[in-house]
Amino acid sequence: MRLLLHICCGPCAVYPVSVLEEEGVDFEGLFYNPNIHPYDEFVRRKENVGEFAKIKNFSVKYMDDFSQDIWEKLGEDNENRCNMCYTVRIDKVAQFAKENGFDAFTTTLLVSPYQKHELIVELSEKAAQKYGLTFYYKDFRPGFRQGQQWAKELGLYRQKYCGCIISYRESEKLKNERKKSK
Ligand code: SF4
């Protein structure tokens, strides 16, 4: 089985990659995250994935799509915005997997307790059916803290917000409120 691993960022990739290695899965990574804002953050996360892949010696493809408009338009409505964000990314990953001879795909989004896990699973299953692929499901969440610790030890950049412009604004707001209360 050839598996395509969608990678949302370096730190989230650490634990899932350790599991795939342990299980002897033949995999390649794909960075496709047009949601990440601002552009320098997009580049930083992308390069960080490259650094990690180099350390672990696996191959990664990159899609340079960067598009903020749709995320901004959906604004504060987290449910619709995240649904769209996962749908766009998962569908593209499954399409890429199909077009490039992979049998299965999965995503590092499944490691984070902060993501909408059940929704990611549901959308991935739909995409797998649409493209005639296997969705390689693993609940990586029990390894999240361990993965973050390994990422720290490897010196990987660990971002403080999910990715889109709205999550960026929310984190900036929180940062300013914390500063004020000191
Ligand atoms: S909060 Fe995260 S998952 Fe939701 S839209 Fe923003 S980047 Fe995507």
Domain boundaries, the chain: 2-181
With a Cβ cut-off of 6 Å, ligand 1 is lined by 35, 71, 81-82, 85, 162-164, 166-167
Helix (H) / strand (E) containing 5: strand 2-6
For helices 78-99 and 117-131, angle between their N-to-C axes, nearest 10 degrees: 30
C-alpha to C-alpha distance for 154 and 149, rounded to whole angstroms? 9
Q: For 53-72, write each residue's pLDDT tens digit.
A: 999 999 999 999 998 888 88
Helix (H) / strand (E) containing 30: strand 26-31
The pLDDT assigned to 170 comes to 92
C-alpha to C-alpha distance for 14 and 151, rounded to whole angstroms? 7
| CATH architecture group of domain 2-181 | 3-Layer(aba) Sandwich (3.40)
Q: Whose alpha carbon is nearest atom 5 of ligand 1?
A: 82
Q: Report the separation in Å between the CA atom of 81 and the middle of ligand 1, taken as the mean of its atom positions.
A: 7
Q: Report the separation in Å between the CA atom of 106 and the middle of ligand 1, taken as the mean of its atom positions.
A: 18
Residues of the chain with pLDDT under 70: none
Q: What's the whole-model pTM score?
A: 0.95
The pLDDT assigned to 69 comes to 82
The pLDDT assigned to 182 comes to 78
